[in-house]
């Protein structure tokens, strides 16, 4: 009897009160968390979440002011809220299913959503029902959806959409007799190989290659990344293995791409280094378990843009900003956290360089692993070889890219001078492009994989390197050379994602 009474009491509340005005935005936020668990940096989207919850209440207030019926105002606000939240998602789906057709155009979509909204508003306004069943069904349905997402988050806490090949080789205990090196892993995003620079850009790159060879580095001219996107490439490299279920046929959308960040977040190399007693410094784009990025001022992965898909006005601003009048752009505002803003990009790379040099000088009493990830020379290109912003120069993308390469070379010389001056031996320095230049020609897509790869081993034992080494074997070679492992070097596999 008490259970039956409680059930009836709860049912009555669900029939009477418009909890759905709170539950709908809660479902949107929780569903995004389910998709991108362990990935979202929430401080960049607090204002977006506040808008989520404020919108149904604002719509309710406006409609209630007009018609003075709580139930009708609630349902009309719900109908308008669904349009507010899901028009962007419908637009994305239509663009995928019917590219370049009238069906995916905003002219069609907004007209259709306006007609549907008007139809529901008219029906709600004219009906004489009490709406008790409507409230019960909508409230209960949203509660069930939210519960299902929360259960999924709990049960799949560390799981990623993308799965790694099984690793059975790296389960040995820490090496007690190894002389463990300080390891520097330095990434320049989209830095292609010297042969590609020579053949496509007529740029020999002798300056930095001669400098590095003079310091004892080797450079592998035929080096290639195994993936054409950053998080897949870095995820594979740090896990020392391939990703089993990468889709190279269909286009990879932002939310699918962002799920690959979990590969880096829970990577095997950092787990290995922790067991070996390393001090770890993370000056990269990625947050990694127990080692968040030291530079978290900017929205490195576009989380605000993901949340803006659920705000019809901000979605329109994303897609049609260039059509909007100046007053509308001011209201919608500039994304101050946008990583590709020219000033933000320059500040990011400057900070990474500063932190990398400072970390090289720190004596932790333990071996160090330092991961530094520069945005340059990744597009968009906004600065020249000296780091000054382009001043209305009509440069091609290729010319601008070469400016960025020259700028990166200045950084490479500076940081390698500092590392070699302050670091003790044994020492490993790896300087890589995560992948190569974004070539558009379909017949030359494979050239996207060619990357710059320079390696310094203080013991000069480069026997495991070949001219065509790939990124996935980078740390397999390091572990074999310095930690007495006997890991197999993996055959070359290459994945060009769309």
Q: What percent of the chain stands above pLDDT 90?
A: 54
What's the rounded Cα separation, in Å, for the pair 312 and 63? 19
pLDDT at 328 over 70: no
pLDDT at 410 over 90: yes
What's the rounded Cα separation, in Å, for the pair 46 and 461? 50
Helices 206-214 and 397-422: crossing angle in degrees, nearest 10, is: 10
Q: Among 398, 404, 399, which Cα is nearest to 386's?
A: 404
pLDDT in tens, 240-283: 999 988 888 888 878 888 889 999 998 999 999 999 999 999 99
Question: What pLDDT score does 322 carry?
Answer: 64
| CA distance to 32, 35, 260, 317, 334, per residue, from 307 (Å) | 8, 12, 18, 13, 15
The single-letter DSSP state of residue 297 is S
Question: What pLDDT score does 435 carry?
Answer: 93
Bridge partners (DSSP) listed for residue 455: 218, 430
Bridge partners (DSSP) listed for residue 281: 370
- Between these two residues, 315 and 318, which has the higher pLDDT value? 315
Q: What pLDDT band is residue 3 in, cutting at 50, 70 and 90?
A: low
How many separate helices (H) and strands (E) can be counted in the chain? Answer: 18, 6
Bridge partners (DSSP) listed for residue 368: 279
pLDDT in tens, 414-470: 999 999 998 888 999 999 999 998 888 877 888 899 999 999 999 999 999 999 999
The single-letter DSSP state of residue 341 is S
Number of other CB atoms surrounding residue 478 within 10 Å: 22
Q: What would the mean pLDDT of 342-355 be, rounded to a whole number?
A: 92
Q: How many CA atoms lie within 13 A of 163 on its CB side?
A: 6
SS3 (DSSP) at 57: helix
Q: Is the peptide bond before 380 cis (omega within 30 degrees of 0)?
A: yes
pTM, to two decimals: 0.88
What's the rounded Cα separation, in Å, for the pair 390 and 234? 30
pLDDT at 396 over 70: yes
Q: What pLDDT band is residue 1 in, cutting at 50, 70 and 90?
A: very low
Q: How does the average pLDDT of the chain come out, rounded? A: 89
Q: Is the Cβ–Cβ distance between 78 and 24 less than 8 Å? A: yes
What's the rounded Cα separation, in Å, for the pair 130 and 140? 17
Number of other CB atoms surrounding residue 405 within 10 Å: 23
Least confident of 192-196, 222-226, 285-289, 395-399: 395-399
Q: What would the mean pLDDT of 359-385 be, rounded to a whole number?
A: 91
pLDDT in tens, 93-105: 888 888 888 888 8
Q: Please give the angle made by the CA atoms of 439, 212 and 465, to the nearest 5 degrees.
A: 70
């Amino acid at each position: 009897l008490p259970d039956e009474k409680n059930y009836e009491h709860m049912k009555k509340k669900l029939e009477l009160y418009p909890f759905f005005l709170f539950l709908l935005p809660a479902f949107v936020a929780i569903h995004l968390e389910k998709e991108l668990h362990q990935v979202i940096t929430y401080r960049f989207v607090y204002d977006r979440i506040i808008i989520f919850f404020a919108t149904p209440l604002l719509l309710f207030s406006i409609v209630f002011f007009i018609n003075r019926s709580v139930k009708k105002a609630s349902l009309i606000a719900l109908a308008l809220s669904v349009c507010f939240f899901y028009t962007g998602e419908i637009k994305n789906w239509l663009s995928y299913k019917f590219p370049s057709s009238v069906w995916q155009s905003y002219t069609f979509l907004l007209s259709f959503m306006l007609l549907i909204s008007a139809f529901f508003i008219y029906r709600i306004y004219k009906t004489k029902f009490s709406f008790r069943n409507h409230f019960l069904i909508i409230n209960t349905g949203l509660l069930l959806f939210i519960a299902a997402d929360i259960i999924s988050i709990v049960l799949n806490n560390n799981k990623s959409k993308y799965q790694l090949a099984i690793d059975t080789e790296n389960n040995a205990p820490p090496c007690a007799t190894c002389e463990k090196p300080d390891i520097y892993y330095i990434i320049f995003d989209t830095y292609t190989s010297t042969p590609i620079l020579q053949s496509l850009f007529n740029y020999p790159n002798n300056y930095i290659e001669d400098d590095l060879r003079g310091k004892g580095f080797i450079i592998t001219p035929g080096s290639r990344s195994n993936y054409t996107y950053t998080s897949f490439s870095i995820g594979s490299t740090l896990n020392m293995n391939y990703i089993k279920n990468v889709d190279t046929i269909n286009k990879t959308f932002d939310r699918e791409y962002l799920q690959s960040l979990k590969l880096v977040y829970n990577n095997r190399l950092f787990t290995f280094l922790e067991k070996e007693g390393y001090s770890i410094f993370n000056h990269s784009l990625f947050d990694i378990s127990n080692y968040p990025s030291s530079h978290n001022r900017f929205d490195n992965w576009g989380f605000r843009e993901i949340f803006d898909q659920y705000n019809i006005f901000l979605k329109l601003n994303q897609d049609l900003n260039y059509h909007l009048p100046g007053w509308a752009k001011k209201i919608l505002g500039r994304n101050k956290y946008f990583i590709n803003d020219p000033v933000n990009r320059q500040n990011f790379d400057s900070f990474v360089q500063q932190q990398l040099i400072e970390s090289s000088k720190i004596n932790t009493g333990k071996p160090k692993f330092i991961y530094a990830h520069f945005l340059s020379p990744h597009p968009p290109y906004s600065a020249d070889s000296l780091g000054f912003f382009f001043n209305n120069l009509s440069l091609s993308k290729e010319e601008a890219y070469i400016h960025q390469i020259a700028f990166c070379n200045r950084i490479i010389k500076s940081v390698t001078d500092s590392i070699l001056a302050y670091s003790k031996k044994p020492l490993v320095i790896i300087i890589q492009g995560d992948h190569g230049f974004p070539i558009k020609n379909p017949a030359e897509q494979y050239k996207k994989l060619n990357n710059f790869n320079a390696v310094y081993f203080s013991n000069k034992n480069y026997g495991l390197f070949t001219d065509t080494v790939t990124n996935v074997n980078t740390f397999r070679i390091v572990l074999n050379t310095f930690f007495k492992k006997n890991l197999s070097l993996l055959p070359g596999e290459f994945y060009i994602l769309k």
